[in-house]
Amino acid sequence: MSFGERLVAAVGRFGPLCAGIDPHPSLLAEWGLTDDAEGLAGFCSAAVAALAGHVAVVKPQAAFFERHGSRGIAVLEQTLADLAGTGTLSLLDVKRGDIGSTMDGYADAYLGVGAAVAADAITVSPYLGFGSLEPAFRAAEEAGRGVFVLARTSNPEGGTVQLASVDGVTVAQGMVTAAGVRNAGASPLGGIGVVVGATHDHGLDLGALNGAVLAPGLGAQGATPADIAERFAGLRGLVLPAASRSILKAGPDVAALRGAAEAQRDELAAALTVLS
């Protein structure tokens, strides 16, 4: 199956929530865990037990694993392996982006058949040019995986680059348009998504995307399901609102974590219409 087919199936089964696994040092402490690889492993084990098979997508943040060195990366590999086959897709928030053989290397690491740190999808940065991501697109398509391209992020610094105009079109819109061209003709969705923050009006035309939008900012960052329904009403594809802290603060109890995720999932399902 293509990534688009698998994603539509997962959202149809579990709803549109993307739940983050963001093991901040402060959150490890709140859970009574040590800020090391052992604490990280305990955190991820509880999160996977709570979320796998209950939400469509789980999004580990790579930075909080990398800060623990090789042992942290080993925990990340195990977390991704534990999610595989559960019906819940993994979306690794790693924001890789480079050129030539270096981008080939990133694609081999995360997306290729037999990838060492294999995720169902990853985030990528296009600011060396959308075309520089071609190795990731090729590897993802061959392996039935997906790629989410940064377009209009919610951080205030992002606007300096993303809202710059080239031939009368913002850079952010250019990324969305380029993704839509790559997704054209795919059914039910193409494998190239975009990242658009949910905490502000994005001003983008998403009508020809034919892919998924990862929309971080739900919950603790201030976006509500009603905000997301309004801001992504013109999307031709589906939206994956992402929440992390508002769910993870319910831990470390697995039942409480699952309850928080399911409550957020059900609230989203009531507010959103998933287009295919």
Per-residue confidence (pLDDT) for residue 236, from 0 to 100: 80
pLDDT of residue 30: 97
- The tens digit of pLDDT for each residue in 65-114 reads 999 999 999 999 999 999 999 999 999 999 999 999 999 999 999 999 99
The answer to whether residue 95 is catalytic is yes
- Which residue type is seen at 67? R
Which residue out of 49, 74, 78, 95 is catalytically annotated? 95
Q: Does domain 3-269 have CATH number 3.30.565.10?
A: no
- Contact (Cβ atoms closer than 8 angstroms) between residue 121 and residue 140: yes
Q: What is the mean pLDDT of each run of 10 residues along the chain (276 residues)?
A: 97 96 96 98 98 98 98 98 97 97 97 96 96 97 98 92 94 97 97 95 93 91 88 88 95 97 92 57
Which pLDDT score is estimated for 274?
Answer: 43
Q: What is the pLDDT of residues 150-173, one digit of tens each?
A: 999 989 899 999 999 999 999 999
With b for 16 or more beta-carbon neighbours within 10 A and e for fewer, the 32-46 pattern comes to ebebebebbbbbbbb
Confidence at residue 276, expressed as pLDDT on a 0 to 100 scale? 35
The model carries a pTM of: 0.96
pLDDT in the model for residue 184: 97
Query: What confidence score (pLDDT) does residue 273 get?
Result: 58
